[in-house]
Chain A
């Protein structure tokens, strides 16, 4: 690589985070302004500051603000968890779902709907979902034991994910009334439509704790690119790193899935899209993946509002459709390399 192209690379690296921050702000604004009733930037700003007309205030503050905040926060958590797990498992196809956390959290939520517990209080479903995520993590530790190999963890994660998936299918199979079945289906497709401030207050602390546990481990993830022995000889405490990372993913992703339903592929796609703009070390991807996840999920959420369909498209459907090209590109790149 010559000096000029190295220089270009450095500029790209430096511009990445500021660029993504601008995009996230734009996406957040779009989420507040666009929908069935489009609002001008001035009306959005006035409503946010507590001025302006009552209708605009209700639309922006009560209807769209929780949705915008959740879109940004859930996307950020999924993007960060994906980047962390790809680094930790040293596998570019890892995402939160590989460890079974997403599915187990979804099972908790499905149980809340199936047994009618969700009707007691708006917080019951998310709390059960978080419980599901934490239970999955506890099971993961029992199954994977003391082994440090990423393969054991992935195998244990697949076992948990499949078990939780079976539980969800069972609930769908046995659900006595078709409405409960429909409700479960709708929830599983993933959406942040009609979310209230309560949902924001449940998800945000979990996402904050999850991120706080994950972000300091960038250097440990970098060291792991030299394998387990390489990382340990660089002073990384692997057992501690693993505890913190899995706990961070379980709490953060559990909290995110609790309010949004199962939204797949964000954690997979975002690190992939951003990796070429970084120096390709795992630590360099953490903050950009957070921002990128926030942008992607929020824009996808704006898209589901704007795409004219008979019933509103679900967010999880859109992200899944976006995920396929990423897999294909990865496949094509691999084939060219061989």
Chain B
């Protein structure tokens, strides 16, 4: 069980206020979608949650402990992170890449133990990439690559998983695969936070959505409460078809409202 608490979180980047006074508590077992327009501050929010960006104000607590006081390796064992558009700089095999997830558990000169190997095999099975183990990770298709990168994040064995835009450039089938995988992880008791752009997917799979607009948390709750006609108009400047009787709710963006701006 892990619980992440954000208290009055504010972040400035290059002199510009990017996040203002965000407060929320995120608990194990939830699949939480972070949604909002481009540039709203979604990625900055998850980076702040992981201690990857300096705060102007506020604190992030994990199980009550301020993350600023936690050693980086301890934090890395509790929350694992898959950055947006994860790149790989060397042509490692899939198995070697997934093994990188064990680094927070390894001492400076130590090697992988039997337990590490088990965690790697387990993560590869959960992400359905066991067949790809011997392939070169830089030569995979987009869908295979997304699953392999998720397996790397799962191999950490952390109680919390934070993924930034895991669906980018995936076809609908692979998008569903990834969302199902995140759903299963949350169902197994993990805290899963995913930055998402696809509102249809976010509404169908997430237990809870955090809607960020212009650096502020404008709504936080179940998808059907967060994604209303008024908010979609105000935040995204769009009209949408919302099918209220479907469960989970079905949301299809329809058109741009001309005078709503940015």
Contacts and interface: CB of A to CB of B under 8 A. Distances in A.
Interface string A195-218: 000000000000000000001111
Interface in A230-279: 230, 232-237, 279
Among B76, B90, B92, B96, chain A packs the most CB atoms within 10 A around the CB of: B90
Contacts of A90: 89-90
B52 interface: yes
B194 to A, nearest CB: 15
A1 B125 CA distance: 18
Contacts of A280: 90-93, 96
Interface stretch (A44-52, A184-192, A220-228, A318-326): A220-228
B229 interface: no
Interface string B54-78: 0000000000000000011111110
Contacts of B73: 235
A281 interface: yes
A207 B71 CA distance: 31
B104 A234 contact: yes
B104 A229 contact: no
A316 interface: no
Nearest to A217: B108
A225 B50 contact: no
B249 interface: no
A230 B76 CA distance: 10
A223 B73 CA distance: 12
A226 B74 CA distance: 19
Given A216-B109, A219-B103, A237-B72, A279 B86 contact: no
A267 to B, nearest CB: 18
A233 B103 contact: no
A90 B90 CA distance: 8
Interface in A1-25: 1-2, 6
Contact of B83 (A217, A219, A224, A227): A227
Contacts of A237: 72
Given A224-B89, A227-B87, A235 B72 contact: yes
Main secondary structure of the interface of A (DSSP, over half): helix
Contact of A225 (B75, B80, B89): B89
A235 B104 contact: yes
A235 B100 contact: no
A258 B47 CA distance: 44
A226 B88 contact: yes
A70 B100 CA distance: 36
Interface string B92-115: 110010001101101011000000
Contacts of B86: 226-227, 230
A133 to B, nearest CB: 25
A6 B134 contact: yes
Interface residues of B, number: 34
B77 A235 contact: yes
B106 A219 contact: yes
B252 to A, nearest CB: 33
Contacts of A131: none
A223 B90 contact: no
Contacts of A282: 90
A211 to B, nearest CB: 13
Contacts of B71: 235
Contacts of A235: 71-77, 103-104
A196 to B, nearest CB: 35
Interface string B206-227: 0000000000000000000000
Contacts of A223: 100, 103
Given A226-B86, A232-B72, A235-B73, A1 B100 contact: no
B205 interface: no
B93 A279 contact: yes
Contacts of B152: 226
Among A6, A237, A281, chain B packs the most CB atoms within 10 A around the CB of: A281
Nearest to B80: A233
Interface of B: 47, 50, 52, 71-77, 79-81, 83, 86-93, 96, 100-101, 103-104, 106, 108-109, 134-135, 152, 156
10 contacts: A222-B103, A226-B86, A226-B87, A227-B87, A229-B47, A232-B72, A233-B80, A234-B76, A237-B72, A281-B90
Q: Which 7 A-B pairs have the closest CB atoms?
A: A235-B76, A235-B73, A233-B81, A1-B134, A216-B108, A90-B89, A235-B104
Given A1-B134, A236-B103, A279-B93, 12 more contacts: A90-B90, A223-B100, A225-B92, A226-B87, A233-B83, A234-B76, A234-B101, A235-B72, A235-B73, A235-B75, A235-B103, A280-B92
